[in-house]
Amino acid sequence: MRMTDRTIELDCGKLTPTFSQRLVAGLAPLTSLFRGFRNRIEINGLHDLNDTQLRDIGLSRADLTSAFLASTFFEDPSEHLTRSARNRWRLSLFRSHEE
């Protein structure tokens, strides 16, 4: 057997994650849960605003209520509010182009 006939396969493409990378990956679900809980508290604070202030940021009281009803306890309701504000903004743009 010649030297050129013999090959060694090295698996250099796969790097093992470091301890800090494994720690971050393990804590990611916990940080996501904490972020969702923090956003729920902030959205509860939006109930203190009056209707004019809510309209200024593109929301309504119905949006706040539906954000909580549409999301489970472990989901982030701020995503629903973001979609509501964007849809209302797009609708206002559409109406302004019609005039």
pLDDT tens column, 54-82:
988 888 899 998 888 888 877 888 888 88
Q: The pTM is what? A: 0.62
How high is the pLDDT of residue 99? 65
Distance CA 77, CA 85 (A): 13
Helix (DSSP H) and strand (DSSP E) numbers for the chain: 4, 0
Q: What is the pLDDT of residue 22?
A: 92
Task: Give per-residue pLDDT as tens, 1-50.
Answer: 555 666 666 666 677 889 999 999 999 999 988 998 999 999 889 999 99
